[in-house]
Amino acid sequence: MSREFITEMRRSLEHLNREIIDHPLILDARSKRLPLDKVKVLLENQAYIVHHDARSLSMMLARTTRSDEADYLARLVQVDLSALEALKNICALLYIDCERWEDLRIVPESVSYAHFLAFLSNFANTGEQIFALLVNLPVWSEACSRLGAALREKYGITETRFFDGFANIPTWVEERGVELIGRYLQTSRQRMRLFGRLIQAYEKSFWDGVYFYRT
């Protein structure tokens, strides 16, 4: 039942998801029309996002009440920590001090995703949190895959592990996640729909914010 529910949700978001995957920022990168400085702005905002997402996941882990959910979230934390390490590497290559995100060019529209995850970590139940992540991750993953390839092929940036890691999210994230949300469907279905819609709007906002940022 949860498989059908998430498939239906993804179908309803198909148009928006396509706008993210085919975002002009990604298309410009693929044709090498995107200024390198825009890539830096993107990474600067990711520095803010990934640091805070790790804390939000931590809050989710602290609030969970079931063993299997704690296991799942702990493993997700590991995925995020690996991304953080990879982000440091690409930032170092491009001379970005990603530890000092306070001094970076943070775009409000671009970091609204991280703020929403913090909201979820405080006000949503574990099923709703996992559902929102499951709606978001495949689209983020596809976008990362395309942008990572463009950076390698068109910009000669070889250190793309940050994007490659997200492009290859382990299969257990989806499989186990779908199982776990099942127990919440009866009570959280409507809230899940809302959170799924919101998280993807914030995802789109991330790409728009960076793309339209005036450097």
Partner 1 sequence: MRPRDVLWSSISDVYQAIINHPFLRELSDGKLSKDSFRDYILQDAIYLEAFARSVAAVAVKADENEFAVLLLNVASGALTVERRSLHEFLMREWGIRPEDLSSYEPNPVNRAYMDFLLYTTNSSTFNEGLAAILPCAWVYREVGRELIEKGSPVPQYQRWIETYSSPEYDRTVDSLLDLVDVKFSKLSSEELTRLKRTFRLSTIYEYMFWDAAYRRSRWPFALT
Shortest distance, position 60 Cβ to partner 1, whole Å: 8
Backbone angles phi, psi at 75, to 5 degrees: -70, -35
Least distance from partner 1 to the Cβ atom of residue 61, Å: 4
CB of 125 or CB of 205, closer to partner 1: 125
Nearer to partner 1, 79 or 94 (CB): 79
CB of 119 or CB of 212, closer to partner 1 = 119
Long-range contacts at 62-69 (CB < 8 A, ≥ 24 apart): 63/121, 63/126, 64/126, 65/126, 66/126, 68/180, 69/126, 69/130, 69/180
How far apart are CB 62 and partner 1 at their closest, in Å?
4
Q: Which residues bind partner 1 (CB under 8 A)?
A: 51, 54-55, 57-59, 61-64, 66-68, 70-71, 74-75, 77-78, 80-81, 84, 99
- State the DSSP string of 3-35: HHHHHHHHHHTHHHHHHHHT-HHHHHHHTT-S-
Sign of the CA dihedral with 85 first, then 28, 24, and 39 last: positive
In the complex with partner 1, the residue whose CB is nearer, 28 or 71, is 71
- Kindly state the smallest distance separating residue 36's Cβ from partner 1, in Å: 26
When the beta carbons of 3 and 66 are compared against partner 1, the nearer one is 66
Closest distance to partner 1 from the beta carbon of 102 (Å): 11
Judge whether 155 and 93 are in contact, CB under 8 Å. Answer: no
Contact, 141 vs 167, CB < 8 A? yes
The answer to whether residues 61 and 73 touch, using CB atoms and an 8 Å cutoff, is yes
